[in-house]
Amino acid sequence: MNSIEKITVAIADDHLIFRNGLKSLLSAEPDIEIIGEAANASQLMELLMVQVPLVTIIDISMPGISGIEATRSILGAFPCTSVLILSMHTAPEYIMNAIQAGAKGYLPKDVSKSELTEAIRALSNGGDYFSRSVSETVMQGLLQQRKDDAELASLTSREKEVLTLSASGLTNKEIAAKLFISHRTVDCHKNHIMQKLSLKSSAELILYAVRNGFVKL
């Protein structure tokens, strides 16, 4: 009788009780083998130097290096493993950053056992897997980015300068002096920016500027 080829899995999460629960859950599956666990990114790297699993499950919130940074480092050193993010964080920025770091899957921590094992099997076969809620968040993020790109294309180079300086904290008077234009011209540029980007307040303008890389916090 042929033995089942195991899907090797490593787990990285700083909560011992969660790791124990996950190991117990997955060890009951005949085709899944837990080869090791880690409480942080450093321990995980040491583990992977000994044996590289087909799937590496990583939490985002870990002490020291975050799961997203760990994903980037791990895939740079061990490209043959597939990273599955299992996290309580489901905000768009976490998901998009994880995907950009190279994660092939992303699930919330309240996922069912059946969906978790389905994701592991999908990644072990070279595919990817995102829960429905995560997929919807990704799609919303892409649609928002398309909207932002279209709005940005409508701004003139001078309006982009005013947007950057305004979001950086400069007053209209300071912007006018820096760009050698009148205070009234700055007011007109800001009004046009607010209209084109459908913004209603200075706070929204700053948030938009940060989200689109005009300024950094």
Claim to verify: residue 160 and residue 121 sit in the same structural domain: no
Query: Does the residue 195 lie in any domain?
Result: yes
Claim to verify: residue 122 and residue 166 sit in the same structural domain: no
Edge-to-edge strand list for the sheet holding 7-12: 32-38, 7-12, 55-58, 82-87, 105-108, 129-130
Claim to verify: residue 163 and residue 131 sit in the same structural domain: no
Claim to verify: residue 89 and residue 176 sit in the same structural domain: no
pLDDT for residue 1: 43
- Extended strands (E) in 116-155: 129-130
What is the residue range of 180's domain? 154-211
pLDDT for residue 142: 67
CA dihedral 64, 213, 193, 95 (to 10 degrees): -60
pLDDT for residue 125: 93
Summarised one tens digit per residue, pLDDT across range 34-72 is 999 999 999 999 999 999 999 999 999 998 899 999 999
| High-pLDDT (> 70) share of the chain, % | 95
Residues in CB range of 163: below 8 A, 6 or more apart: 155, 193, 205, 208, 209, 214
Claim to verify: residue 162 and residue 126 sit in the same structural domain: no
Claim to verify: residue 115 and residue 191 sit in the same structural domain: no
Question: pTM for this structure?
Answer: 0.67
Query: Does the residue 124 lie in any domain?
Result: yes
CA atoms within 13 A on the CB side of 159: 17
Summarised one tens digit per residue, pLDDT across range 1-16 is 456 789 999 999 999 9
Q: What's the mean pLDDT when you consider all of the chain?
A: 89
Claim to verify: residue 122 and residue 182 sit in the same structural domain: no
- Which of residues 103, 138, 173 is at a domain's end? 138
Claim to verify: residue 18 and residue 120 sit in the same structural domain: yes
pLDDT for residue 96: 85
Summarised one tens digit per residue, pLDDT across range 87-96 is 998 888 888 8
The CATH code of the domain that includes 204 is 1.10.10.10
Claim to verify: residue 172 and residue 107 sit in the same structural domain: no
For 60-75, letters b (16+ CB in 10 Å) and e give bebeebbbbebbbbbb
Pair of tokens at residue 51: 């044996």
Query: Does the residue 146 lie in any domain?
Result: no
3 state SS for 152-208: HHCCCHHHHHHHHHHHCCCCHHHHHHHHCCCHHHHHHHHHHHHHHCCCCCHHHHHHH
Query: Does the residue 162 lie in any domain?
Result: yes
- Which of residues 95, 112, 138 is at a domain's end? 138
Claim to verify: residue 106 and residue 50 sit in the same structural domain: yes
Query: Does the residue 216 lie in any domain?
Result: no
Name the domain count of the chain.
2
Query: Does the residue 202 lie in any domain?
Result: yes
Claim to verify: residue 199 and residue 163 sit in the same structural domain: yes
